[in-house]
Structure 1
Amino acid sequence: MHPETHLALHHTRAADLRAEADAHRLAAAVGQPYDFRTRLGWTLVEVGLRLASTRPALAH
C-alpha cells in the first residue's frame, strides 16, 4: 500500500475513534436516566421473581 494512502486511512480511522470516544464521554456524563432505568428494571425483575415463586405449603 502506498504510504500516503496508508496515512490518509490512519487519519480517517483516528478521527472516527475520537468522535466515538467523545460520544461515549457525553453519554456517560448524561448517565442519570440510564441509571434510573437500570434500577427500575432490576426492581421489576425482583418483583416478578417474587410473584412467580411458589410459596412453601404450611405444615398442619
Structure 2
Amino acid sequence: MNSDLFLYVEHQRARELRAEAERHRVTTKPVPAVRRWQIRLGWTLVEMGLRLVHRRPAHN
C-alpha cells in the first residue's frame, strides 16, 4: 500500500474516533466527585499490586 494512502486512512480513522469520543463526552453525565475518587483509588491499588507482583526477587 502506498504510504500516502495509508496515512490518509489513518487520519480518517483518527477523525472518526475523535468525533465518537466527543459525542460520548457530550451525551454522558459527569461523574460525581466521590465516584472519581473511588476510581482513582482503585486504579492506584491495581498499580501497586502489579508492581508487587512484578518485583524481581532479591539476589542472595
TM-score, length basis structure 2: 0.48
